[in-house]
Amino acid sequence: MLLMILCGSNGRKAVPISLLGAEVTVFDLSEENKRYALELANHANTSISYIVGDGYDIDLERYKRSFDILYLEGGILHYFSDIDKFMAILFSMLKNGGRMVLSDYHPIKRCIGSDFKYTPTYFDNELHKGEVAYKEYFEESEQQKFPDVYIRHYTLSEIINSVIKSGFTLNSFEEHRGWNNENIPWEFTILAMK
């Protein structure tokens, strides 16, 4: 089984999936993440393929209809300014009969703070300057070296309609509580097929 993880970061999902028997290819923007992921795979006595580059620049001639499963998780959609273009790329990379598992932050999460106060930003569709994930865990001197990113938030209907519009068949949509069992949808998972 050929599995692709987009924005696969440091291999924390790719390596265990590889150990389960899948041939895993990771696409990510960071050369540092690649080094870490390949070293992790080596120490786990497995192997993964790792392509460094922008998700919009994936070589679709090479990777068209290449993968049985696309696995996307951990809050990546906001890094893509054009969700329809992004979904079209994903659809083209999947084999006929293949599946996409998309698990991301629920759009309502950005409207409710840790204090459970509502911020009216649900329909905000502007690009915003943001920070690279996990930046706050590094020393302040190192944080200065991190580039800023631009993020674009989507509504739930924009996400679901883009999945459908790109050609996927939506199999299921699940909402998940917060990590502390909050009674608010914090994440969602979409299972779709080509």
Which domains does the chain carry?
54-106+155-193 (3.40.50.150)
- Whether 133 has a pLDDT exceeding 80, the answer reads no
Res. 141 pLDDT band, cuts 50 70 90: confident
Per the prediction, the chain carries an average pLDDT of: 93
pLDDT of 131 = 80
For residue 58, give both structure tokens.
């994936």
Name the range with the highest mean pLDDT among 88-102, 113-127, 173-187: 88-102
Give 56's pLDDT tier (boundaries 50, 70, 90).
very high
**Entry pTM:** 0.90
Q: Lowest-confidence range among 89-103, 116-130, 139-153, 162-176?
A: 139-153
CB within 8 Å of 71: residues ≥ 6 apart = 3, 4, 5, 13, 17, 101
Q: Give 6's pLDDT tier (boundaries 50, 70, 90).
A: very high
- 152: confidence class by pLDDT, cuts 50, 70, 90: very high
Q: Which residue has the higher pLDDT, 183 or 132?
A: 183
**DSSP conformational letter for 146:** S
Pull the structure tokens for residue 109.
């999460």
Q: How far apart are CA 79 and CA 82, in angstroms?
A: 9
Q: For residue 143, what pLDDT is reported?
A: 81
pLDDT of residue 48: 97
Q: Which of 177, 175, 152 is nearest to 76 (CA)?
A: 152
Distances (CA, A) of 150 to 79, 80, 190: 7, 9, 24
